[in-house]
Structure 1
Amino acid sequence: MVEHATRVGNRLLAALPPADFALLAPHLRKVPLLHDAVLVRSGDRIEHLYFPCSGAIAFIMELPNGQTAATAVIGNDGAVGLMTALGPHRSPMTAVVRVAGTALQISPARFQTALERSPALRSLVQLLSRALMTQVQHVAACNALHSVEARLARWLLHIHDRTDGGGDVLPLTQETLSELLGVRRTTVTHVVSALRTSRALKSSRRGQLDIDRQRLEVIACECYKVMSRRIDRIVSQDAVRLLHAAPARSGCPPPDFPFAKTDS
């Protein structure tokens, strides 16, 4: 399983039984996730599903008055565009790459075909939905109950968790922080200044935040650890247990799982 997970990259795809993953593998294309790239906009038809292998993607809710707020951040523990598993669907939110990385991309039609043949894939959709709903619910409660400083520390930790060893400098602008928090940029300026005073931020150069993770963990509300534990349980322990409990497919998988050509 460890070798398989290393090759696949996305934790939930790696948890699939080999025969079920083999239904997807020929149609998965490894693509770059470029910083600030918009993978899908709210209201647009979903053209591709993305299973991140590295990097961080924020789901953004856009209100009619133009205000925006982040509702979740995912990395190799999630997917973008999974609503297509329920049929042709327009995206309810915008997905933006906040930390560059890579993803496995597949068309909705190819994914739907595999889904119809694989009980384990149907369990995968349920797991991903649970993980995302868990995060969205926690974010809503956190926004209502905790200070802006604690919420920013939580978001920075969630994003840092998904940088895959990329160091302590996060490529986040004040505009992005405003979007994550759902507050004005003037408020972001005050919050960043407060975190620098407490030394949770070592520096805040334009477009970059150099964090002190230990100090952020002290400032962050309890939501960070609670959310991390629950989501990790869903995408690791629950994933392996439920996916491998699904009725087995007949036939033997090929010895390896070559992906389609990687975009350069």
Structure 2
Amino acid sequence: MDHATRVGNRLLAALPPADFALLAPHLRKIVIERDTVLVRSGDRIEHLLFPLSGAIATIMELPNGQTVATTIVGHDGAVGLTTALGASHSPTTAVVRISGAALQISPAQFLAAQQCSPAIGAMVQVFTRSLLTQLQHVAACNALHSVEARMARWLLHIHDRANGSDLLPLTQETLSELLGVRRTTVTHVVSTMRASRALRSNRRGQLEIDRPRLEAVACECYKVLSRRIDRIISHGTVGLVHRPPARSASRPPGSRIAGTGC
């Protein structure tokens, strides 16, 4: 089994083995359960998570209590990686929407490894570019497209990270939170999408989707954004293997970086 297959997260898998080895001793595999709040907006970031499976929504919470989803993260991203940019508190709330697994590491351990590895620093830049692209595109989509088209887009993004299952464990309350609309609006949109057979059922807090019909309902943002994110991650991570190697722990006396083994 090769390095990329073993790791399971696209960002970590792209690191050269020597650079990944700086993180590996500190990575702990955990289960992430549906509806678990991983971090709340304004809370100190205690852990970085690199999902291996499942889907995590980042939610922007306004002072009046309204919420709206800003990104969906799966095995192609990370949660809490803004600590690498100097942020100690989370700007958004991260909630697990599809159960799965993740690799967990403390910010201190990640930052110490990053100081030793230009490739890890470049990985952070790749993820930042993909995150900004998603945020900008979602903002434009929210302003210009219908609730029905936006719901279809979110469902497709989540389905991409749902391990192949067409049955998505999403309640109307969850959809309301994702879309930033009232539950009555969600009820109407779900009814319309069932009539078009993009959704086959809506029972016990689960939505069964018909993917081809759902793609027909979604705005063009789904395909455009998916292609852009994939291109950023694919092209960006290819360049990681050409970065200077991780600094060896065996350096001349006095040349170590404080707080690291570099």
Q: TM-score range by the shorter chain?
A: over 0.9
Contact 1:40 1:95 survives alignment (8 Å): yes
Aligned mates of 1:177, 1:210 — CA distance in 2: 14
Paired amino acid for 1:213: R
List per-residue Cα deviations over 1:110-162 (Å, max 9, x = no partner). Answer: 00100100000100111111111111111100001111111000000000001
1:189 aligns with: 187
Q: Which has the higher contact order (CA 8 A, sep 6+)?
A: 1
List per-residue Cα deviations over 1:29-71 (Å, max 9, x = no partner). Answer: 0000100001100000000000000000000000000000000
Aligned mates of 2:178, 2:211 — CA distance in 1: 18
Q: Please tell me whether residue 246 in structure 1 is matched to residue 243 in structure 2.
A: yes
Aligned mates of 1:118, 1:71 — CA distance in 2: 30
The CA deviation at 1:250 is 5.2
Report the structure number with the largest CA radius of gyration: 2
Aligned mates of 2:131, 2:222 — CA distance in 1: 15
| Runs of 4+ with >3 A deviation | none
State which of 219, 222, 225 in structure 2 corresponds to 1:221.
219
The CA deviation at 1:235 is 1.6
Aligned mates of 1:157, 1:88 — CA distance in 2: 30
C-alpha RMSD of the superposition: 1.3
2:168 aligns with: 170
Aligned mates of 2:107, 2:247 — CA distance in 1: 24
Flag the 1:134–1:88 CA change in 2: closer, same or farther, 3 A.
closer
1:1-264 correspondence runs (5 A): 3-87=2-86, 89-165=88-164, 167-241=165-239, 243-249=240-246
> What TM-score comes out, normalization by structure 2 length?
0.93
Q: Secondary structure at the match of 2:120?
A: helix
How many residues align structurally? 249
Contact 1:12 1:236 survives alignment (8 Å): no
Aligned mates of 1:135, 1:147 — CA distance in 2: 18
Paired amino acid for 1:9: G
> What TM-score comes out, normalization by structure 1 length?
0.92
The CA deviation at 1:206 is 2.5
Where structure 2 has 5 or more consecutive residues not aligned to the other structure, the ranges are: 250-262
Contact 2:116 2:247 survives alignment (8 Å): no
The CA deviation at 1:85 is 0.9
Aligned mates of 1:187, 1:178 — CA distance in 2: 8
Where structure 1 has 5 or more consecutive residues not aligned to the other structure, the ranges are: 253-264
Contact 1:58 1:70 survives alignment (8 Å): yes
Aligned mates of 2:91, 2:248 — CA distance in 1: 38
The CA deviation at 1:251 is 5.5
The CA deviation at 1:180 is 1.0
The CA deviation at 1:233 is 1.1
